[in-house]
Structure 1
Amino acid sequence: MFRYLTVPVTPFEQNCSIVWCDETLDAAVIDPGGDLPLLQREIDRLGLNLQAIWLTHAHIDHAGGAGQLARESRLPIVGPHEGDQFWIDGLPKQSQMFGFPPAESFKPTRWLHDGDTVQIGHCTLQVRHCPGHTPGHVVFFEPTTRRAFVGDVLFAGSIGRTDFPGGDYQTLINSITQRLWPMGNDVVFIPGHGPESTFGDERATNPFVGGT
């Protein structure tokens, strides 16, 4: 069965998620933006075998620790879509701008595209390309538990910013309404920041995409 634990990291309180198969205890970490010792303690506490790093997008608070973790633990970096390569290339500069520990640029082991899947143990997650916040943003959806890890596409009561380079408001709205809503109103989503919610609740109450 699919399991997950959300661990806020970095001064931006970014929701890094440790995801695993409870039969094999194989795990991946989604968006290790920083605080790697904290993440390692949680992985050790759970007795997991970390196999991969999955990225929704390449902003510093989501990807700042990915290069170091991949290098030190010899892990593949999976995602995001190649539209975010310029953000990956700029990670060292991003870390300086926002006062983060030095971040390493990298080339992902595998780029992700709409309709791809990723697997951990016996659990398979679906990938959706959801640009707008960044050009290469992707979302991970686990259909059996109805959980979606949406990065900074959608939040409880809000949506991702579109004023960064490569962002576009209408593209983001289209990603939400055309790629997320069809998954179903019952889907619980884990955003990049803040509390979980459901697509149904956001369709009913979110001031940016309510009623869509």
Structure 2
Amino acid sequence: MIVKGLTVGLLQENCYIFGCSRTRSAVIIDPGDNARAILRLVEQQALRVEKIINTHAHFDHVLAVPAVRAATGAPFLLHRAELPILHDLPNRVRLWLDMDVDPVDDPDDFLEHGQIIQVGDEALEVRFTPGHSPGHVVFVHHAGRQVFAGDTLFQGSIGRFDLPGADGPTLLHSIREQLLTLPDDYAVYPGHGPATTIGYERVHNPYVGERASLR
């Protein structure tokens, strides 16, 4: 197993490269910006990118998708419910960053809850976790006891739910049903900020932890 992360873009988004050490197959999770740095890391690790898989379609997670897809030929996968978010990307970038960007083309295929993404000898389970966005998913690597959580669960926090298509109660339910049901020692690699663990957030998270006020 190979896991490499790098923080990209103005919103400091965490992109992850997940690969198989034997076959050198890899997927790129949430290429949000700076395609050159992402591709350089792939080359340094001598990996072959087979898929681009996204937790969701907010612009800070997908801006590098076109360049990475063009450079690698890898298909882009996303949950179908994220299409409205993806299609609104130019408007969101203009609103947030006062910049004009081209649209990102539709995915080559769609992710589904319970789907297994094979990466050489490794496997990622797709879990549907809406709330931060309507089609958000997370990727769970059970063999390595880790979850790539996108913008659901952060160290001491949770994803925003004041954005178009978001819903707070839905997000809390997703975290409790799809993340906090994992064992305590699972590492959580979020879309922003430092890594944490399921066990730490189960106790200390002010939104979903044992002493949380939002229930």
Question: TM-score band (shorter)?
Answer: over 0.9
1:89 paired residue number: 87
Distance in 1, matches of 2:72 and 2:49, equals 9
1:182 alignment partner, SS class: coil
**1:1-212 equivalence runs, <5 A:** 2-79=1-78, 81-99=79-97, 102-211=101-210
8 Å Cα contact 1:67-1:104 kept in structure 2? no
TM-score (norm 1): 0.95
Asked whether the equivalents of residues 95 and 103 of structure 1 are also in contact (C-alpha less than 8 Å), the reply is no
Contact 2:39 2:68 in 1 (8 A): no
Provide runs of 4+ in structure 1 moved above 4 Å.
none
Gaps of 5+ in 2: none
Q: Is the 8 A contact 1:83 1:136 kept in 2?
A: yes
Post-superposition shift, 1:24?
A: 0.7
* Partners of 1:65 and 1:103 within 8 A in 2: no
Displacement, 1:47? 1.2
Question: C-alpha root-mean-square deviation of aligned residues, in Å?
Answer: 1.4
Distance 2:100 2:7 in 1: 16
1:72 CA displacement: 3.9
Residue 90 of structure 1: how far off its partner (Å) = 1.3
Equivalent position amino acid for 1:63 in 2: V
Give CA-to-partner distance per residue, 1:116-173, whole Å, 9 cap, x none.
1111111111010000000100000000110100000000000000000110000000
Between the aligned residues of both structures, percent identity stands at: 36
Q: How many pairs were matched up?
A: 210
Mind listing any 5+ residue stretches in structure 1 that lack a counterpart?
Answer: none
* Alpha-carbon offset, residue 91 of structure 1: 1.7
Worse-matched range after superposition: 139-148 or 112-121 = 112-121
Report how far residue 105 of structure 1 moved.
Answer: 2.1
How far 1:101 sits from its partner (Å)?
6.7
TM-score (norm 2): 0.93
